[in-house]
Amino acid sequence: MKITLDADRCCAAGQCVLIAPEVFDQRDEDGVVVLLDAEPPAGQHDAVREAAAVCPAAVIEVRA
């Protein structure tokens, strides 16, 4: 799995951090998403896919 972000579009909802805290974080100053692990282990894949699906700004792209 490889994750890419279009952080410029991020609306700082923070849902990705709630769902996959080992993969995503937020910048303290404005809440914009930070990618902690662009190629997370298999155990994280379901959570990452859910985060991508739920993201209200469609910021997270996941490639198999």
Cα torsion 26, 1, 39, 34 to 10°: value is: -10
Q: Which of 39, 42, 43, 56 binds another protein (CB under 8 A)?
A: 56
Q: How far is the CB of 44 from another protein (least distance, A)?
A: 17
**Residue that has been written with the tokens 């997370």 in this structure:** 40
Cα torsion 17, 23, 44, 54 to 10°: value is: 40
Give the x-and-dash track for 27-46 against another protein (CB under 8 A).
xx-xx---------------
Nearer to another protein, 38 or 46 (CB): 46
